Each structure stands twice: as C-alpha cells, then as structure tokens.
Amino acid sequence: MNKVILQFWEESERGFGVRPYGCSLHLDTLIRDKYVNGVYESRKGEDYVPDVYDRIIGDPIDAFISDVLYSKVKLKSSIRVYEHELNNLMSMALIIIRNDK
C-alpha cells in the first residue's frame, strides 16, 4: 500500500441540494493544494453562482492505496475518483483510510 493525500468533495445542485462527490487523490500536500487552487481559480471572476458546482469537504487526510491505483496517481500527480468508484475501491480495500485519532 502507498500513502497519498485524499481530499473529499461534494456537489451542490440548485433545486436538489448537496450530495457526496467522491474524492481526489494526490501524491503530496503541495500537489493537493495546487489541484484545489486550480479548481477554485478557474471560477474567479464569475459574478454568479452556477446551478451545479463541486467543493472540498474538510481537511485533506492520509490514505493508503494499492500499487495499481498508485501508478495512476503517480502518472498524473492527482486523480479524481467519483463517489461510486470510491465506494467500490474502499469495499475492495484498494483505498484504506486510517483514523488514528
């Protein structure tokens, strides 16, 4: 298993509310920060709230992922994993989140 930084996301849709939107996986905290800033930077200058948008939930956390999944993260530095994929990967123990606190 390989350590990565995991960031949870949620999606907000006007008229439907908020729902889980998976996570993003990053090689390290600096890459995570750059990824998240890039998402938010692309929205600067908009003078309206879009009908559908995603946003981070909480702080980044340490996670451990399989070698195969890690090779995909390593290739791009960051990848997005949508909610159904995250649920499947966690149920197969290919993504493990440890809560040591």
Q: Is the dihedral of CA 80, 85, 90, 95 positive or negative?
A: negative
Q: Which domain holds residue 62?
A: 2-97
Q: What is the pLDDT of residue 47?
A: 81
pLDDT tens-digit profile of 5-51? 999 999 999 999 999 999 999 999 999 999 999 999 988 877 888 88
Task: Please tell me the total count of domains within the chain.
Answer: 1
Helix (H) or strand (E) holding 13: strand 2-13
Q: What is the pLDDT of residue 98?
A: 79
Q: What is the pTM of this model?
A: 0.91
